[in-house]
Amino acid sequence: MEKTDPAAYASKLTTDPWSIEIGGMVDRPGNYDVADIAPDNALEERIYRLRCVEAWSMVIPWLGVPLSGVLKKIGVQPSAKYVAFETLTRPAEMPGLSSPFMSWPYREGLRLDEAMHPLTLLATGLYDQPMPKQNGAPIRLVVPWKYGFKSIKSIIRITLTDKQPVSTWNVLQASEYGFYANVNPQVDHPRWSQASERRIGAGLFAGRQETQMFNGYGDEVAGLYAGMDLKTYY
């Protein structure tokens, strides 16, 4: 499996029609079209930093809607504590599913307060264009203060629950990929430092730059983790 494979094979993926099943502890469960969740006239442009757990970063202009608005319309029940996400599994169009390394479908999750934070986005586009298939078309999650693997792509299911959801990379290797996955330069990956990053597009001679706590969004999100040991809950 190569990093170029998504762009090479993504054209096979059918993204229209597409619906998302929203269920669990909600008042109005059902299957919702992408146009119902993120209509064109509601899209916002959000320019966010993206920090990969592999210590590279980018700045990306996304198009999308706040996840909080979607959840408010669906009606979150008081007992809900987490939001679980699940991606597509379609072997005929996704040859990478045959890899024995990872079990599918890909799953992710957020605490409810993280999901309701105004920075958390359901994105349907980037660079003022519809979302490319290799980047998670037609709709994906963007959580800019967390490592990129938390921003699950091609979502087909959102479930409100009172139990901490499965996070695929956390299940595969919990010592390397925590459930929270907040960008933290003080907590290294077991195989490399997280203290600095390589900014893609910065130029050949730009060098590395220091990684910021919460990817630079600490003023907005640090309060979500007040009192938590972020070296334990990484």
The CATH code of the domain that includes 93 is 3.90.420.10
> pLDDT per residue over 95-147, tens digit each?
777 777 788 999 999 999 999 999 999 999 999 999 999 999 999 999 999 99
Q: Which residues of 116-146 are buried (b: 16+ CB within 10 A; e: fewer)?
A: bbebbbbbbbbeeeebebbbbbbbbbbbbbb
Residue 184 lies in a domain: yes
d(CA 12, CA 126): 20
Query: What is the domain range of residue 40?
Result: 5-218
Q: For residue 131, what is the DSSP state?
A: P
Percent of all residues in the chain with a pLDDT value above 90, rounded to a whole number = 85
Q: pLDDT band for 1, please (50, 70, 90 cuts).
A: low
Contact 214, 183 (CB under 8 A): yes
d(CA 233, CA 95): 34
Q: Structure tokens of 226?
A: 């007040």
> pLDDT per residue over 55-97, tens digit each?
999 999 999 999 999 999 999 999 999 999 999 988 888 877 7
Residue 187 lies in a domain: yes
Q: How many domains does the chain fold into?
A: 1
Residue 231 lies in a domain: no
pTM of the model: 0.95
